[in-house]
Chains A and B, each alone.
Chain A
């Protein structure tokens, strides 16, 4: 009995001591790993935040102190003159208005059009679907610059299959087939869901619609809802996350787009075009615009999207992991 008690005591104490050693070891490991994690993360976010802080610090800096080596982050004198000159150079009210009419509206159109096309692709089985799926992958793959010039020619005399010529001949009317410098040059691809990065938008939508349960559609069908009603009343409300993801990405992509507006709409100069030109001429013509107003212009361009993102970001990251964008 005593022997047993001794044994019990021995094992218990042994276990206890080994347990405490284990605990201490585990604690140190977790402490070290969390320190390493924070060091890594902070180094990374420093690199990512540096340009933005640089931008802000320079935008509010008095031009007098631009080359002052003693000033690193916090300027000695604040000024808004940089913003004023950036406002002038960016031709601000007009270019903002153009950005909204050209980019934002076309991205909104494209969000709807891509959703409808993806619904057709994901929820119905019809002949030729394989070809359409292959074309979708090609649409994602083939870079935009490849079709830019042919599209330019296409817009210059927009006459798909001679359709407009036919109408002109039959009805004896003149139709202006030059789409360049009209808003149609941007809206038309958006309406037909082949606009800027539409391939990816359709892909995201399609993955999500495919993952919706079949029973939902069957129930809607049995209750007498046609395909259109099913889309409006069932699919759209239950795919809020996909909608959120696509809208955020699409609006950001459109906002930052430069090529389309530059090529097709020379009379609707958007903020991105103005900024790019500003950037080019700053280097080329030797126009004296200080780097500070460059930074102010950048800040002005970026801020709306930054605010937009910060409002949506928490929901967005939650949604992107729920969309099944990845499967």
Chain B
């Protein structure tokens, strides 16, 4: 008994080293994460005067009142950003899944294609914006879909708009598809990390499972739904989370543009942080709902 006690003390002493290794991080969390986050909540309820060295005065709900009632763009922008999140998510998820499935199978030139599909992770931010304004992202087949602009490279383009009109679909579906076509580059460009994650997950599935499925006589479609998807459930969760964060914080969404305009150009910090918090709370609610539904409907079923 005594020996056991002693040993457990020893283990406890050893485990105290955890504090030592985390010490710098705990300090950093306190200084650069917890305090600033709490401060930015405080900013929501206060009036900031930039002219006098960031003087803050408590004003209660005034900022929230202002952004909802007096700011005409805020609600619309937020709705646009959130609908961008909701509409893009399924497309990105399924596209990257399909890509990962293809890249996981054996064929010639796999290495080259894998290298290409990871390019979006390297080229981000200002470069992409620059490319977009210079019309460099509209590969000819898509330029008709995105309105064309003054591009001189539309020769031989397939006019998707015309095809859509000719297809005789209901108006809502047509606008939805047209919307997807207009941002097809954005969608494809944001599949980089997701594809890699799915690919990594697919490679960790053991070959025996596929063999069993083959012996049982499952076709490719059934194999996908009964083996790959359930085995990837945790990765799908991670990809969902990552994609949603990526989509919410993307610089080019209407609300983020408005906020960064307010913050960096007009230096209005109180209202902009109120906007950010409202936006992230709404986005967080949607994210939570999606993850909850996913958990409830899918993971429970597969387990």
Q: Report which A residues bind B (CB closer than 8 A).
A: 34, 37-38, 40-41, 44-52, 54-55, 58, 67, 69, 72, 113, 116-117, 119-121, 123-126, 129, 132, 135, 138-151, 153-154, 156, 160, 188-189, 191-194, 202, 221, 226-228, 231, 249, 252, 256-258, 272, 275-276, 279, 283, 291, 294-295, 297-298, 301-302, 305-306, 309-310, 313-314, 317, 320-321, 323-327
What are 10 A-B pairs with beta-carbon distances under 8 A? A116-B25, A126-B15, A138-B33, A150-B35, A193-B24, A193-B28, A252-B122, A275-B127, A309-B122, A326-B200
> Measured between C-beta atoms, what is the minimum distance from B113 to chain A in Å?
5
Task: Determine whether the beta carbon of A113 is less than 8 Å from that of B139.
Answer: no
B134 close to A (CB within 8 Å): yes
Contact A227 B189 (CB under 8 A): no
Q: Separation in Å of the B156 CB from the closest CB of chain A? A: 10
6 additional A-B residue pairs with CB within 8 Å, beyond A193-B28, A227-B21: A45-B116, A51-B123, A120-B19, A120-B20, A317-B114, A321-B200
User: Which of under 10, 10 to 19, 20 to 34, or 35 or more describes the interface residues of B?
Assistant: 35 or more
- 7 shortest interchain CB distances as A-B pairs: A192-B28, A120-B21, A124-B18, A150-B36, A117-B25, A120-B22, A150-B39
* Per-residue interface assignment for chain B, residues 103 to 144, with 1 indicating a CB less than 8 Å from any chain A CB and 0 otherwise: 001010001011111111111111111110110110100100
The docked-state distance in angstroms from the alpha carbon of A48 to that of B235 is 24
Contact A192 B25 (CB under 8 A): yes
* Bound-complex Cα distance A306 to B115 (A): 11
- B37–A54 touching, CB < 8 Å: no
Instruction: Establish whether residues A326 and B235, one from each chain, have CB atoms under 8 Å apart when the complex forms.
Output: yes
Supposing A47-B188, A326-B204 touch, asked if A147 and B36 sit within 8 A by C-beta, the answer is yes
Within 8 A of A (CB), among B83-118: 98-99, 102, 105, 107, 111, 113-118
Residues of A within 8 A of B105 (CB): 37
Distance in angstroms between the alpha carbons of A86 and B28 in the assembled complex: 38
Q: In the complex, what distance in Å separates the CA atom of A149 from the CA atom of B99?
A: 39
B276 touches A227 (CB 8 A): no
Contact B99–A291 (Cβ < 8 Å)? no
What residues on A are CB-neighbors of B117 within 8 Å? 44-45, 48
Residues of A within 8 A of B153 (CB): 72
Contact B22 A117 (CB under 8 A): yes
Contact B142 A47 (CB under 8 A): yes
Which one of B16, B18, B189, B249 lies within 8 Å of A143 (CB-CB)?
B249
Most buried by B among A44, A149, A272, A314: A149
**B185: nearest chain-A partner, CB-CB:** A47
Q: Are A252 and B115 in contact (CB under 8 A)?
A: no
Which residues of B from 228 to 285 have beta carbons under 8 Å from A? 234-235, 238, 245, 248-249, 256, 259-260, 263, 269, 273, 276-277, 280
Chain B residue nearest to A295 (CB atoms) is B134
Query: Which residues 189-217 of B have a CB within 8 angstroms of A?
Result: 189, 196-197, 199-201, 203-204
Closest chain A residue, CB of each to CB of B188: A47
Q: Does B54 contact A (CB under 8 A)?
A: yes
B30 partner residues in chain A, CB cutoff 8 A: 160
A69 to B153 alpha-carbon distance, docked (Å): 8
Measured CA separation A8–B180 after assembly (Å): 61
C-alpha spacing A135/B17, complex, angstroms: 19
Shortest C-beta distance, B242 to chain A (Å), equals 9
Q: How far does the Cβ of B275 sit from chain A's closest Cβ, in whole Å?
A: 11
A113 in contact with B24 given A69-B152, A151-B32 (CB within 8 Å): yes
Contact of B33 among A121, A135, A297 (CB under 8 A): A135
Closest Cβ of chain B to A285, distance in Å, is 15
A147/B33 contact (C-beta < 8 A), A227-B14, A294-B130 known:
yes
Q: Are A44 and B122 in contact (CB under 8 A)?
A: no
A321 touches B122 (CB 8 A): no
Report which of B32, B115, B130, B238 forms a contact with A192, defined as CB distance below 8 A. Answer: B32
